[in-house]
Amino acid sequence: MDIILASASPRRAELLKKAGIKFKQVPSTIDEEAIHKKFRHENVSKGYVKKFVREVALAKLAPFTRNDLNKPVVTADTVVYFEGRIIGKPHTKEKCREQHLMFSGKTNYVFTAVAVHYNGKTICVVKCRPTKVAKLQDEVIETICNEPYTLDCAGYRSSGAIGPYLKIKKQHEEDVAGLSVSLLLKMLRRVGFTALDMQPT
């Protein structure tokens, strides 16, 4: 049985494929911007950011929980917390350059919320991982800004040109990339989904 990945993220899809997990990618139809407007993005605490990513991840489930699909639905949301601010997707190259200049040589915190719904049960887990970014040269930032998907990633991509400049504990790499497969499998078991074909290859 496939699971439903309610996310348009190519990174999350890639992680599931690499793990050998069968899934169908059906992006959620919720208006994320409307949820973002409910929250402050400046002068906030880590606890506030945790609440923020949790609410967004759970909201992405809503269009799927209204009907009994008999399939697990997985959503996630990732943001970067930096010096009291929530840093989201840059959308433009100018914003992308600005963000990477901010992160250069400093530590930020990646918050990822993963939500799962199956058989009437919903759970959500939030992880916060510190990430040190080495000093970035202008040409490296320019390369990052021109990579596929970068403008649609919260804060930065954990792969591609920036990869060698990130200092992340190995066990935290999947969280920073946007979806921990090991965590997801544990969550699926918690909601009662134990299909043998969910084991990573």
Q: Which is the catalytic residue, given 77, 138, 152, 175?
A: 77
- Classified as helix, coil or strand, 178 is coil
> pTM of the predicted model, to two decimals?
0.89
- pLDDT tens across 133-170, in order? 999 999 999 998 898 878 877 655 556 788 888 888 77
Structural domains in the chain (count): 1
**Residue 77 annotated to the active site:** yes
The greatest distance separating any two alpha carbons of the chain, rounded to the nearest whole angstrom, comes to: 51
In Å, how far from its chain's centre is CA 33?
16
- pLDDT tens across 97-115, in order? 999 999 999 999 999 999 9
- Classified as helix, coil or strand, 131 is strand
Q: What is the pLDDT of residue 136?
A: 93
Domain that includes residue 32, residue range = 3-198
- pLDDT tens across 42-96, in order? 999 999 999 999 999 999 999 988 776 789 999 999 999 999 999 988 889 999 9
CATH code (residue 158): 3.90.950.10
Rounded Cα–Cα distance for residues 68 and 66 (Å): 7
Report in angstroms the alpha-carbon separations of 128 from 31, 35, 77, 139, 157: 24, 20, 12, 29, 16
